[in-house]
Amino acid sequence: MAESGKSTPTVIKKYANRRLYHTGTSTYVTLEDLAAMVQAGEDFVVYDAKSGEDITRSVLTQIIFEQENKAGAENLLPVAFLRQLIRFYGDSMRAMVPSFLEYSMDHLAREQDGLREKMSQTFGPTAFQHAMEEQVRANMSFFNEAMRMFTPFGPGGQPAAGDKPAEAPVPAAAAPKGELDDLKRQMAEMQSRLEALAKK
């Protein structure tokens, strides 16, 4: 269902032969066309033509794969990030990752728009490019710090380098209530640290 004030997403149907059909223009389109639609801010959903299943997520993932493998293209996804993302599949913290990634990308997009306008007006495209590279580095630092909060332990369950020693385990008798209180405290601390990082 479309949000109030927003147009209804365009429906794309994917057939068994992997062809993508744009119902708005009654034409077949490619992944490249869909990438251009995303970059232009045009919303769409993709359905399997036979089953009616919403396959938008897998198609968007496929677009990213195609973009990352373009000859001569600049890659957006660092190998370390991809490895960390894969590690979260099946992890107990996986439910928090989508919200965190959405927050991070929204934060980056907001800063990018303001920075682009300011730098373009003041210094021109060359200085803007340099400023954007600095901003990307700052955002990656922000992301890495937040990811460290999500994964306080390194391989083998040992504290990551530079981390403080883990607190003593909660006694078994007090585990249910103690674990809940501890989780609440950790979530509050994490929220405070994320807010502090976002202000830097």
- Helices of type H across 69-199: 79-88, 97-122, 125-150, 175-198
Count the domains in the chain: 2
Does 84 score more than 70 pLDDT?
A: yes
Q: Are residues 54 and 92 in the same domain?
A: no
Rounded to 5, what percent of the chain is helix, strand, coil? 60, 10, 30
Q: Are residues 189 and 97 in the same domain?
A: yes
Q: Is 140 part of a structural domain of the chain?
A: yes
Rounded average pLDDT over 172-182: 56
| Whole-number Å distance between alpha carbons of 28 and 86 | 33
Does 193 score more than 50 pLDDT?
A: yes
Q: Is 49 part of a structural domain of the chain?
A: yes
Question: Which residues lie across from 28 on neighbouring strands?
Answer: 21
Q: Are residues 17 and 56 in the same domain?
A: yes
Which of the four pLDDT bands, split at 50, 70 and 90, describes residue 1?
very low
- In a 3-state reduction of DSSP, which class is residue 37? helix
Please give the pLDDT value at position 64: 92
Which of the four pLDDT bands, split at 50, 70 and 90, describes residue 52?
very high
Helices (H) and strands (E) in the chain, counts: 6, 4
Rounded average pLDDT over 34-63: 95
| Whole-number Å distance between alpha carbons of 144 and 122 | 31
The range of the structural domain enclosing residue 138 comes to: 79-153+183-198
Q: Are residues 111 and 61 in the same domain?
A: no
Does 111 score more than 50 pLDDT?
A: yes
Q: Is 169 part of a structural domain of the chain?
A: no
Question: Which residues lie across from 15 on neighbouring strands?
Answer: none
Q: Are residues 19 and 94 in the same domain?
A: no
Which of the four pLDDT bands, split at 50, 70 and 90, describes residue 176?
low
Rounded average pLDDT over 178-193: 66
Please give the pLDDT value at position 53: 97
Rounded average pLDDT over 63-74: 82
CA distances from 192 to 97, 113, 188, 199 (A): 17, 25, 6, 11
CA distances from 158 to 16, 123, 151 (A): 48, 48, 11
Q: Are residues 46 and 91 in the same domain?
A: no
Q: Are residues 105 and 189 in the same domain?
A: yes
Q: Is 191 part of a structural domain of the chain?
A: yes
Q: Are residues 39 and 130 in the same domain?
A: no
- The answer to whether 68 and 76 have CB atoms below 8 angstroms apart is yes
| Whole-number Å distance between alpha carbons of 147 and 91 | 13
